[in-house]
Amino acid sequence: MNEGTAGPAATGTVSVRAPTDRMGPTLRDIAVAHAAAQGPAPFLIAPDNAEEPGRILSYAGLLREARALAAELKARGLGAGDKVALLMPNGYQTTSLFLGAMIGGFVVTPLNLRSSRAGLAYALDHCDCKILFASLSQAAQLAEALPLMARKIAVEMIDVDALQLFPDAPESFAFEPIDEKAPALLMYTSGTTGTPKGVLLSHRNLVAAATSVADWHGLHPDDRVLSSLPLYHINGQVIGTLAPFLSGGSIVAPRAFSVSTWWRDVETYRCTWINMVPTIIAYLLNGAAGAPPRRFPQLRFGRSASAPLPPDHHRAFEESFGVPVIEGMGMTESASVVFCNPMQLERRKYGSVGLACGVEAFVADAKGHELQDGVAGEIRFRGPNVMSGYYKSPERSSEALDPEGFLRTGDLGFRDEDGFFFVTGRLKELIIKGGENIAPREIDEALLAHPGILEAAAVGIPDTNYGQEILAGIVLKAEMSLSEEELRAHCFTHLGPYKTPKFFAFLSELPKGPSGKVQRLAIAENWQSRKFE
């Protein structure tokens, strides 16, 4: 049912105290506290559109729907800790099921809508889910994947426009006990090589991550975020959903990102912050090209993560829209939170992912020894938001976590003298040409300095003379035309001859994972198999 109003959220804060027999609160404790303190206040607002006309879910409604889901699953033989998979686009019902399952004590596994049929079948087999909730829009994708599975599961097709999925739980119904160590979320990473890894996160991990975000950005019940990032990715789950949930604020969550409705939704629903990735920023900038600057006084800040934000785009966005952008970095293995730039604008550093946020972090050499500031190596970190390991994969877990519990990220970067971290690339994506290490991001930023380029990503491809040569994937802005000669001349000026790409692939879009992160290795693989021809 629709709940609450679309006006500002309730004022005041909610204190969530843990019972004396455990260390910290669970997501259920937080839901119960909010429902008692500000039950009618809106938690989720689904914007008006043709598919989902302006539905609102209150905090009291969220807890009621979580109880209804738990009662339904219990009637079907599921108990606390059992896996519940979701294959659904963003929306009212998806958010209710996503949070409701965890509040009920189940482990939710949101599945990537862009998965291949083999990838989807693998995740459904590996996660051990007892039931899958899938939207009618995913029926064809699911029909191709289910025959490839090695086991049978219950499948419930969901009409996302239904007013209520399950009957209210009886008054006598009680949740099964859980504590902060109980698993809550099983997410599959979207790597470009090998089988996906299942990241198992507990209530403690998720609450710690959401608390770090809420504290860092000063979130409170009056705050409202616009976030279109998918609920099958950790950014949309933790930054866009759990951080507002923990702080008692509200979310405006359209089904998908749209340049034409983004700023309309900001103004209509009086959002106070916006959750973005660099791709969204690039498209918003392109949509505003040639228009006078716009201002949104109620917006406190925007947040960008999931991929490095080019400094030129960062500055241009702030100039065009008057919204300060706080860049950060996260990983699925850390429930999305690792680094973030300060909220104090005078302390931010363009091009940096920021300071350690809720974690201990350092830069390591190949043997795991800490490097001096300014020296590049692998970034490692640990904290209460970091997973204890990969699901059913002790070998991969031991590879990812060192003996002291620090996560080996695979990200290359350095820390400066002020404690700010800079990411220069991935270990697997580092270009090694003639024995020289070249960070792909340096080439990306040089290409993005050209006014005709919307997106760019450089990657190494095999070469008999140099070991690797440089290939750049290019997406041009609408109605723009550039030749390879023009691009090469531009790169010569900004990069010099050695770092200038030898090859250019003109694409309609760059291959990306669900977070918006560019999959460079896919560009190289497609080029080598000549899928661009």
pLDDT tens column, 9-37: 333 334 443 333 445 799 999 999 999 99
Mean pLDDT of the chain: 89
Tokens of 232: 């099958």
pLDDT band at residue 529, thresholds of 50, 70 and 90?
confident
Rounded Cα distance, 80 and 73, in Å: 10
Provide the β-strand partners of residue 142.
none
Give the span between the Cα atoms of 210 and 384, in whole angstroms.
11
Residue among 41, 343, 344 at smallest CA distance from 219: 343
Give the pair of three-digit tokens for residue 500: 């200038």
Confidence of residue 87 (pLDDT cuts 50, 70, 90): very high
Check pLDDT > 70 for residue 146.
yes
What pLDDT, in 10s, does the model give residues 294-318?
Answer: 999 999 999 999 877 889 899 999 9
Q: What is the Cα–Cα distance from 497 to 4, expressed in whole angstroms?
A: 61
Given this model, what pLDDT does residue 194 score? 60
pLDDT for position 13: 38
Contact 206, 200 (CB under 8 A): no
442, 444, 447, 452 alpha-carbon torsion, rounded to 10°: -150
Under 8 Å between Cβ of 296 and 323: yes
Identify the pLDDT of residue 525: 84
Instruction: Decide: residue 493, CB within 10 A, 0-12 exposed, 13-18 middle, 19+ buried.
Output: exposed
How far apart are alpha carbons 186 and 108 in whole angstroms?
6
Domains and CATH numbers, the chain: 27-169+176-243 (3.40.50.12780), 281-426 (3.40.50.12780), 431-528 (3.30.300.30)
What the block records as the tokens of 418 is: 């002020």
pLDDT band at 531 (very low <50, low <70, confident <90, very high): low
Packing angle of the helix pair 59-75, 27-38 (nearest 10 deg)? 130
C-alpha span between 212 and 218 (Å, rounded): 10
Q: What is the pLDDT of residue 105?
A: 98
Residue 11 phi, psi (nearest 5): -90, 170
245-256 mean pLDDT: 95
State what percent of residues in the chain have pLDDT above 70: 91
Question: Exposed e or buried b for every residue in 4-15, given b needs 16+ CB within 10 A?
Answer: bebebbbeeebe
For 335-378, what is each residue's pLDDT tens digit? 998 999 999 999 999 999 999 999 999 999 989 999 999 999 99
Radius of gyration of the chain (CA): 23
Note whether 309 and 423 are within 8 A (CB): no
Among residues 495, 365, 490, the alpha carbon closest in space to that of 433 is found at: 495
Write phi, then psi, for 276 (nearest 5 degrees).
Answer: -135, 170
pLDDT on residue 372: 97
Banded pLDDT at 478 (limits 50, 70, 90): confident
Distance CA 461, CA 208 (A): 40
